[in-house]
Amino acid sequence: MFSTVLIANRGEIALRVARTCRELGLRVVAVHSTEDRDSAVVRLADESVQIGPAPARRSYLNIPALIEAARRTGADALHPGYGFLSEDADLAAVCAENGIAFIGSPAPVLEVFGDKIAARALMAEAGLPLLPGSAAPPGSAREAREAADAIGYPVIVKAAAGGGGNAMAVVREAADLASAWRRVRTDAQALFGDDRVYVERHLGAARHVEVQLLCDAHGNVLSLGTRDCSVQRRRQKLIEEAPAPRLPGGLAERMAEAAVAGARAAGCVGAATFEFLVSPGGSFAYLETNCRIQVEHPVTEMVTGVDLVAEQIRIAAGRELSLRPEDVRPRGTAIECRINAEDPDRDFVPAPGPLTEFRLPGGPFVRVDTHGYPGYRIPAAYDSLLAKLVVWAPDRDRALRRMAAVLGECRISGPGVRTTAGFLARLIADPRFQDAEHDTALALDPPPDPRPVH
């Protein structure tokens, strides 16, 4: 086992990883920007290193600064969390060159899944079902139009190196294809330094369902079940639950089998999530793979009792999986709501500022992952995620009631601060969500705000 883990991240995930490291008896090194010097993980860590100013490209995305911090503190492992450099092949390779264990998949695996076109080709070879799409990046608007015409509208134009719901556009008519192709290429170059795009069939009324895997370096791959992540806005997940409700008989098992086959073909190591789109008719198609811990991992932990971060660390230390398929027996339902510092009344514009009041719920089977505290100043420089509320219950109806109750307990305020808690409460109460008849369009057509209009 390692002696010291450097956490190359910030916010709630850095704090969550630090807590598991403490339970495993490992020293914790927190890196931070000048903006995050008073963060909760810095207070908890055994040692902290300031790695740069507030802009992420000069701190959390600065690979030389991260490696130097690991060397200086004697860290023999690096946990990248999610976002930032969590799936960066260059960071994984540099860690290996410097004798630092990267807690995640090796660089060649990250390179494959970082290229959506290469990933689609590999998954097709592994037998996973794919939506119709272009096998290679169109070299011109005319080629993109020809590909879209062959696939059939609507289509979605995506960046090959994309992620996080960025650099993509849905096209419903042929006349709009050329402008969308040019726009996505421009966005892809600006965001990822790679202007390659591809065209794929777009499913409108679909569900977004994923399978959580653990994979060791000895060829063992284990499925921990499904999650439903269909409630999204701007392709950013808002509500997740495990297991995915009301899937047709046998579908969860077939998706798990496909995910395991894909992970074996790619050589995934550590935590891996295979994401699928499920059509109203019950067919499914591969979407993408994330070789890292997911924001929504707590719902899987709540129904399985497995600490996914602890398993990540053990796997990175070279150990075989500590679990067998018969050890994974999901129980009940877990639901997670992401509380963002955004203003729903102003098109969800970020609403950072100091927290003068910060009271989050508790009670039986309630988990709160947050880096906030009274007096904490939510920075404007980073993602707006402030807290994750997670509940568990023996069945979905009781989980829904529990989530409605805990959302009502949230008391978060401060100058300029607004959150999405009320908006999420309305989505939870929506009959479509209550009956598990929702899809990815739910948050685009939310129920009305019951507050009086002045």
- Residue 100 near residue 78 (C-beta atoms within 8 A): yes
Instruction: Please check whether the domain covering 4-103 is classified as CATH 3.40.50.20.
Output: yes
For the record, the structure tokens of 273 come out as 């999530």
Position 211, amino acid: V
DSSP 127-158: T--B--B-SS--SSHHHHHHHHHHH-SSEEEE
The helix or strand, by DSSP H or E, that contains position 118, with its residue range, turns out to be: helix 116-125
**Nearest CA among 129, 49, 41, 101 for reference residue 312:** 101
Sequential pLDDT tens for the chain (454 residues): 899 999 999 999 999 999 999 999 999 999 999 999 999 999 999 999 999 999 999 999 999 999 999 999 999 999 999 999 999 999 999 999 999 999 999 999 999 999 999 999 999 999 999 999 998 999 999 999 999 999 999 999 999 987 777 889 999 999 999 999 999 999 999 988 999 999 999 988 899 999 999 999 999 999 999 999 999 998 899 999 999 999 999 999 999 999 999 999 999 999 999 999 999 989 999 999 999 999 999 999 999 999 999 999 999 999 999 899 999 999 999 999 999 999 999 999 999 999 999 999 999 999 999 999 999 999 999 999 999 999 999 999 999 999 999 999 999 999 999 999 999 999 999 999 999 999 999 987 766 666 543 3
* 207-444 CATH pick, 3.30.470.20, 3.30.10.20, 3.30.1340.10, 1.10.1040.50: 3.30.470.20
pTM, to two decimals? 0.95
- Residue 217 near residue 263 (C-beta atoms within 8 A): no
Active site amino acids: 292
**Nearest CA among 437, 361, 427 for reference residue 400:** 427
Domain ranges of the chain: 4-103, 132-201, 207-444
For the record, the structure tokens of 66 come out as 């991260």
> What CATH architecture applies to the domain 132-201?
2-Layer Sandwich (3.30)
